[in-house]
């Protein structure tokens, strides 16, 4: 497919999506994050569910993400506003209909064969932004075509500088609008649930693994069927050697670990990319200042959903520290534990430009594009309701006067 694009001509392939009528019907009744999680648990083999659901080690940080949000109570104002709230804003100059963006999630083809293509289409339909992981199962070009103007690309330095430059060039040519450099993944975190399933990082879904997981797969023939239909795809189509051949998953992870980005790398990355750059995975004011000094345009406050350093600060706490330090210089986004529209309102009130979600869309993806569309619709409706009950006319009006520590939580 060839089409005109803001950055020039984009060459991408249209991928046939496999969302079924059944998925659409089921997605329509999805009402909360917990619904999406419960259904994913029912539909996915336990190892895949735990890959999504789990955090590092004792999962302290993963739980702290929720606790920090729940520890904030609202300060509502009565008798002021009527009618729908204005949820629109801009993020790095890009207009979004709702300040809820999709965080990068690796290996989503394990959840549904449409994977990131479905995520990108759902984000675009909702008027928001999809971030494609470097660890994707679809090609950059396929997802770029699906995302249109609504795509950002998340960068790991797979293949070192040369490999990363190849990823950057392709993401740029495919029309992605911003580059998100993940800084918190020097090595993969210790996700003990994966280990309990006998799966060592990196996960490799070979036919042998499938046999080993037979007991989990037997009650879920639907998943196996979809996974087969999707071509048992579990390779890393975007990571190439200089001769064009693909890296295996193990090689990709090994190489990413060997080339964790430093602040110094941001210079050539920014230069090569030539567009907006965000640093993702920061939880301290000190690092936020280093990122600003390195010339980033935005920061994603994140502890990787509690999947990397267990014991790292909760996202909402880190958000306050980082907004106070650099919020007047760059846009600050945040992810980790956002489950309802009210959570989005909380982080916007603390100073985030927008919230990002990982697991909510990843779980909903078990029902394909329709599931992701529905989760975004639910969050949007929740956010509108929260603002109206707060007496706040728009997301732009949310500030810290709308939240305070809850004394009883």
- Which residues make up the interface to ligand FMN (CB under 6 A)? 51-52, 65, 103-106, 133, 135, 154, 182, 280, 302, 304-305, 307, 335-338, 357-359, 362
Catalytic residue, candidates 112, 138, 259, 304: 304
Residue 146 CB, nearest approach to ligand FMN (Å): 18
**Among residues 335 and 382, whose Cβ is nearest to ligand FMN?**
335
**Among residues 134 and 386, whose Cβ is nearest to ligand FMN?**
134
Q: How far apart are CA 299 and CA 201, in angstroms?
A: 27
In sequence order, the β-bridge partners of residue 180 are: 154, 278
Q: Check if 138 is active-site.
A: no
**Among residues 47 and 135, whose Cβ is nearest to ligand FMN?**
135
**Among residues 182 and 255, whose Cβ is nearest to ligand FMN?**
182
Residue 37 CB, nearest approach to ligand FMN (Å): 11
Residue 306 CB, nearest approach to ligand FMN (Å): 7
Q: How far apart are CA 371 and CA 42, in angstroms?
A: 14
Residue 409 CB, nearest approach to ligand FMN (Å): 19
Q: Tell whether omega for the bond before 202 is within 30 degrees of 0, i.e. cis.
A: yes
**The token pair that represents 337 in the structure block:** 């534990």
**Among residues 347 and 392, whose Cβ is nearest to ligand FMN?**
347
Q: What are phi and psi of 81, to 5 degrees?
A: -115, 155
Q: Which residues of 86-122 are buried (b: 16+ CB within 10 A; e: fewer)?
A: ebebebbebebebbbbbbbbbbbbbbbbbbbbbbbbb
Residue nearest to ligand FMN (CB): 358
Query: What is the sign, positive or negative, of the torsion defined by CA atoms of 148, 329, 360, 373?
Result: negative
Residue 315 CB, nearest approach to ligand FMN (Å): 8
Q: How many residues belong to the chain?
A: 409
Nearest to 74 by CA among 319, 399, 396: 399
Residues forming the active site: 304
């Amino acid at each position: 497919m060839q089409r005109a694009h803001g950055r020039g001509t984009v060459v991408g392939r249209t991928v046939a999506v496999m969302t079924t009528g059944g998925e659409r019907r089921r997605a329509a009744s999805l009402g909360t994050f917990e619904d999406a999680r419960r259904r994913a648990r029912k539909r996915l083999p336990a190892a895949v569910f735990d890959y999504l659901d789990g955090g590092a080690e004792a999962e302290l940080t993963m739980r702290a993400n929720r606790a920090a949000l729940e520890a904030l109570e609202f300060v509502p104002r009565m008798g002021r506003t009527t009618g729908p709230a204005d949820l629109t804003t801009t993020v790095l100059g890009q207009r979004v209909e709702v300040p809820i963006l999709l965080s990068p999630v690796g290996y989503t083809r394990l959840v549904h064969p449409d994977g990131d293509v479905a995520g990108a289409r759902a984000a675009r339909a909702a008027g928001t932004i999809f971030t494609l992981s470097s660890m994707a199962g679809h090609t950059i070009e396929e997802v770029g075509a699906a995302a249109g103007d609504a795509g950002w690309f998340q960068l790991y330095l797979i293949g070192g500088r040369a490999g990363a430059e190849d990823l950057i060039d392709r993401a740029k040519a495919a029309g992605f609008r911003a580059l998100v450099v993940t800084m918190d993944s020097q090595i993969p975190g210790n996700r003990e649930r994966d280990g309990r399933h006998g799966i060592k990082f990196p996960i490799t879904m070979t036919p042998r693994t499938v046999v080993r997981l037979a007991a989990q797969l037997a009650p879920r023939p639907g998943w196996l069927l979809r996974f087969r239909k999707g071509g048992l795809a579990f390779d890393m189509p975007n990571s190439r050697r200089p001769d064009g051949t693909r890296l295996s998953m193990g090689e990709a992870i090994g190489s990413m670990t060997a080339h964790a980005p430093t602040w110094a790398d941001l210079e050539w990355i920014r230069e090569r990319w030539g567009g907006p750059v965000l640093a993702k995975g920061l939880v301290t004011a000190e690092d936020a200042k280093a990122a600003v000094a390195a010339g980033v345009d935005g920061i994603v406050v994140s502890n990787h959903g509690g999947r990397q350093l267990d014991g790292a600060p909760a996202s909402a706490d880190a958000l306050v520290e980082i907004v106070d330090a650099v919020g007047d210089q760059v846009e600050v986004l945040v992810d980790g534990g956002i489950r309802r529209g009210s959570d989005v309102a909380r982080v916007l009130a603390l100073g985030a430009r927008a919230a990002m979600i990982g697991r909510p869309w990843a779980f909903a993806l078990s029902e394909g594009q329709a599931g992701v569309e529905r989760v975004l619709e639910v969050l949007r409706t929740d956010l509108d309701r929260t603002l109206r009950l707060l007496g706040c006319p728009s997301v732009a009006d949310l500030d810290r006067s709308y939240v305070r520590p809850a004394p009883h939580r």
